[in-house]
Structure 1
Amino acid sequence: MFNQTTLKPELINIIPALAEFSINSAALPLLDNSYGDLVNDSRTVSEGDIFCAIIGHDQDGRAYISKAINQGAKVVITQCETQAEHGDIYLEENTPVVKFYQLNEHLFTLAKSYYQSPQNAMTLIGITGTNGKTSTSQLIAGMLMANHKRCAVIGTNGAGMLGALTPINNTTPAATDLHQFFNRFSAMQVSHVAMEVSSHALSQKRASADLFDIAVFTNLSRDHLDYHGTMEEYALAKRQLFSANHKQIAVLNYDDTQSKIWLQNWPETQPVWLYARDNSVTQFSYFICAQDISLHIHGVSFTLKTHLGETVINSPLLGYFNIDNLLAAIAVLLIDGTEVNQLNDLVKQLAPIEGRMEAFTNPRSDLPTAVVDYAHTPDALEKALLACREHCTNKLHVVFGCGGDRDKGKRALMAQVAEQYADVIVITNDNPRTEDAQLIANDILAGLSQQDSSNVTVILDREQAVLNTLKIAGEGDIVLLAGKGHEDYIILSDGKGGTQKIMYNERALVANYYQQFNAESNL
C-alpha cells in the first residue's frame, strides 16, 4: 500500500485529486508557483513540470517516465490499461506516479482543469477541412487584428501572434501543449484564437467541439486515408468539430458536397452560416456570397452579398479558392460583430500568407513569376494550378512531389491533375521519409497518360528542380512550386530505417534567386 506520508508536504492534497479526477472533474488545486506545465512529451519536460505518459497511436509514453523524471518532472500521471488500477500510486526514483485509466481520452479535460480554463475568456474559432485551414485562420487573425482585436493563431505554420509564431510539431497541438498556449495567450491579453483543427486531433480527442465558439468547415477531398481508411471515416472525424447545440455557431462551405450532405440532417439546435460562390446560398437565413467575380493581375474583386447587406471586396489574394477562404473568414468577422461596410478596408490590409499562393517576381519582364504553395493533395494541386492559370499569359510550369510513408493512392491522382492543367511538369522530392525517392517518382509517373512526354522531367534534388525550372521558364510564364509552402526542411531517410530533417527553405531559395537580378540591375 502506498504511504502518502512519504510524499513531499505540498503533494499530499494534490495526488488524491489526480486519482479521483475522472470521477470529479472540479478544478484541480494544481496551478501555483511550485508547479510548471502539464506536459506529455518527455523531450520538453522542465523542472517542476507534471509529465503525462500517454499510450499514443505511434508511441507509448510510459517508456519515457524515467527520462521525464531525470529532466525534473515533479509528478507523473501514467495511463493504465484497466479501470481497477485507476488511482493507484507508486514511487519511481522518489517521484510519485499516479495511474490514470483512459488518460488519452481525459487529457484534454485534465489540462483544461489544470490551467483553470483560460480559454473561457476568449472567442475560440476552430477551422477544419482538407484544404484552406491555414489560410482561413490567418485571414481571420489578420482582419481581426486590423480591426483592433488581439487574435492569436494555432496551426501548421506555428502558434502565437502573426509575424511571431512559435513552431509546433502538429497542426493541432497535444491537449497539454494546447492549454499551455491558451494560458500564455491569456497573459498576453489575447481576445480571439483562430485554430486549425485536424481530423487526427478530432479522432484522438486532442480537441473537442465544446472548445469552440465558432466552428468552420472549408472542404473535404482525399487525404489522410492511410490513417482514416475511408472517405466516410475521414468525413466523420471532421464532423466532430461541430457541437450540435446553440452554444456554437457553425460556418460551412455550401459549395462543398460534404456540407450539403451534412445539411440534410443538420441539428435544429445549432445555428449555421453558409458561404459560397453559388448564388443559391442566398435562400438561407444566414449567408455570405461572392458574385461578379473578377480575377486580375493584382488579385481578385467581387461583390459580397450577405443577409446583413452587401459591399465590394478588393483582395490581393490569388485564385478562386482564396475567395472561398476569404468568405469563410468574413463569415467569422460578421458573427463577431464586424459591420459589412468595414470589410473591404480590412481585406485590403491583408498580406499574402507565407507559403500559401505566395507570389515572387522581379521587375524584369523576361523573368517568370514563381508561386510557392503548400498544395500536397490532388484537390489542392488542382486548385493551385487553376488559380495560376487565371493569371498566366504563357506557359504554366509545376514542380511537385509526394510524401513518403503516406497515402500512396494520391500519387497517380496528383500526376493526372498536373498533366491536365500544367504545360510543363517537373517531378521531385517532397519529404520522401523512409521510402526510396525514385520509387515515389515512379508512382507519380505511373499516373501520367504519356510517361515519355518531352514536357515531363524528374529531378529528385528539389533545390535543383526549382532552380532549373526558374531558369528555363520565360516571360509571361508562371512556375508553381507545390508541396513545401512554409516548411523549411525536407524529411529524408537516415539510412537506418528512420528519418532525418535537412534544412530547405523554398521561399528563401526563390527570393534569393530573384534578388540576384535586383543586384545586377543596380550595377
Structure 2
Amino acid sequence: QAVINIDDPYGRRLADEHPDSWTVSFCRPARIRASEIDIRADGLNFLLDIDGRKQRLSAPLCGEHNLYNLLFALGGIACLDLDPFDFLEGVPHLTLPEGRWMVIGNSPTVVVDFAHSPDSFEQVLKLASRVAKGKIITVFGCTGNRDRKKRPIMGEIVSRYSQFTVLTTDSPGGEDPELITAETLPGIHIPYLVEHDREKAIAAAIEMAEVDDLVLILGRGHEAIFDYGAYTIPLYDPEVARRCWEKRHRNLI
C-alpha cells in the first residue's frame, strides 16, 4: 500500500495506477481529507475525514506543509492496518523540531525560524504573510563565508513579503559584518534599520512592532553559538527574543 497526495498532478497519476492506495487531499475526494482549514501563527484547526469518519482537530503546527505531513503520518498508520483514530488524542501535543517556527509570544507575535537560504526564506515568509494580521518585521543577516551572490537575493525575498526589516549579523566568521550588510542592501527595497548587534536588532524589532504585527527572526533557529571567526560567543535567538518580548510586556503593565 502507499499514501499518495492527489492535490499533486503526478500524485493523481500514481493513485490511478494504485487504486488501493490511501489518498490524501485538501480539496479533492480522498480517503484521508482535511477541510475547513484555519491556519494561524500558533497552530491550525481542521476537519479530518478518513473514509467517511470525521473529527475536528486542533494541532500546534503551522502551515499547510505540516498538515500534509500529519495526514501522511495518519495514512502510514492506516497502511499498517491500525486505526488512525486511535492516535488522534496525541495530535494536540505534537511539536515541531527545535528552531522551526518557534512562536515566542503574541501581541506582537514573535517567531524564530532556522530558515537561512533563499528557498527557505521564501517558504517561511510566504507562511508569515498568510498568518500575519498586521505588518511583517523581519530580522535577518547573511552568514559569513558563504555564497556572496545570494545576499541581495535574500534581501529581495525579505522585501517582497515584509513591510520593514532589521539587518543584522549572522555568524560572520572571518568576514566584516559591514561588508556583508553592504552586499545585502541592493536587494532591500522596503524601510530598514541596520543594527549589527544581533541582540539589539531583535530588541529593536520587537519594540517597534504593533500588537497585530509579526516579528520574524530568521537564520539561526536552534543554534546557540555565534561565530565571529577568531572567537565565538553564546547566543540563542529564542532566549533573546523571549527576554525582549517579556520586557516589552512588563513595560506595558
TM-score normalised to the size of structure 1? 0.42
SS of 2:65's partner is helix
Q: Give the root-mean-square deviation of aligned CA atoms.
A: 3.5
Counterpart of 1:456, as a letter, is Y
**1:319 and 2:63 aligned:** yes
Q: Which runs of 5+ in 1 are unaligned?
A: 1-248, 495-499
Whether the 8 Å CA contact 2:6–2:28 is kept in 1: the answer is no
Superposition pairs of residues 492-511 of structure 1, within 5 angstroms = 492-494=228-230, 500-511=231-242
Change beyond 3 A, Cα 1:466–1:256: farther
Query: Residues 410 and 306 (structure 1 numbering): CA distance in 2 closer, same or farther, change over 3 Å?
Result: farther
Distance 2:124 2:163 in 1: 14
The structural deviation recorded for 1:467 is 0.9
1:314 partner letter: S
Q: CA deviation at 1:358?
A: 1.4
Q: CA deviation at 1:372?
A: 0.9
Aligned 1:326-345 pairs, distance under 5 A: 326-345=70-89
Deviation of 1:478 after TM superposition, in Å, equals 1.0
Cα distance, 1:398 vs. partner? 0.7
- Label 1:491 to 1:255 Cα distance change in 2 as closer, same or farther (>3 A): farther
- Which secondary structure state, in structure 1, belongs to the residue aligned with residue 110 of structure 2? strand
Which residue does the alignment assign to 1:411?
Answer: 151
For the pair 1:347 / 2:91, whether they are aligned, the reply is yes
Distance 1:405 1:289, change over 3 A: farther
Counterpart for residue 201 of structure 2: 465
CA separation in 1, counterparts of 2:6 and 2:145? 33
Describe how 1:227-246 pairs up with structure 2 within 5 A. none
Asked if the contact 1:277/1:291 (under 8 Å) is kept, the reply is yes
Q: Deviations over 1:403-435 (max 9, x none)?
A: 233344443332222111111112222233333
- Within 5 Å, which residues of 2 pair with 1:371-520? 371-448=111-188, 450=189, 453=190, 455-494=191-230, 500-516=231-247
Q: Which residue of 1 aligns with 2:47?
A: 303
Conserved? CA contact 1:314–1:344, under 8 Å: no
Written as runs of structure 1 = structure 2, the 5 A alignment for 1:250-269 is: 260=10
Q: TM-score under structure 2 normalisation?
A: 0.79
CA 1:392/1:340 → structure 2, altered by over 3 Å: closer, same or farther?
same
1:276 CA displacement: 4.8
Give the deviation of 1:491 after TM superposition: 2.3
CA distance in 2, matches of 1:374, 1:424: 19
2:38 is paired with a residue whose SS is strand
Q: Is the 8 A contact 2:220 2:237 kept in 1?
A: yes
SS of 2:99's partner is: coil
Distance 1:482 1:291, change over 3 A: same
Are 1:432 and 1:491, in contact at CA under 8 Å, matched by a contact in 2? yes
Structure 1 position 279 matched with structure 2 position 23? no
Q: Deviations over 1:52-97 (max 9, x none)?
A: xxxxxxxxxxxxxxxxxxxxxxxxxxxxxxxxxxxxxxxxxxxxxx
Q: Deviations over 1:172-215 (max 9, x none)?
A: xxxxxxxxxxxxxxxxxxxxxxxxxxxxxxxxxxxxxxxxxxxx
TM superposition shift of 1:332: 3.7
| TM-superposed deviation, 1:442 | 3.0
Letter in 1 for 2:163: D
Relative contact order (alpha carbons < 8 A, sep ≥ 6): 1 or 2 greater?
A: 2
Q: Is the 8 A contact 1:311 1:344 kept in 2?
A: no
Letter paired with 2:131? H
Which one has the largest radius of gyration? 1
Q: 1:486/1:382 Cα in 2 relative to 1: closer, same or farther (>3 Å)?
A: same
**Identity across aligned pairs (percent)?**
30
The question of whether the paired residues in 2 share the 8 Å contact of 1:355 and 1:486 is answered with: yes
Decide whether aligned partners of structure 1 residues 516 and 416 sit closer, same or farther in structure 2, where only a CA change above 3 A counts: closer
Which one of the candidate residues 30, 35, 38 is aligned to 1:291?
35
- 1:9-408 matches, within 5 Å, as 260=10, 275-277=24-26, 279=28, 282=30, 288-296=32-40, 299-306=43-50, 310-351=54-95, 353-361=97-105, 367-408=107-148
Change in Cα spacing, 1:443 to 1:251, as seen in structure 2 (3 Å) is farther
- Paired with 1:447 and 1:518, the residues of 2 have a C-alpha distance of 33
Secondary structure of 2:58's counterpart equals strand
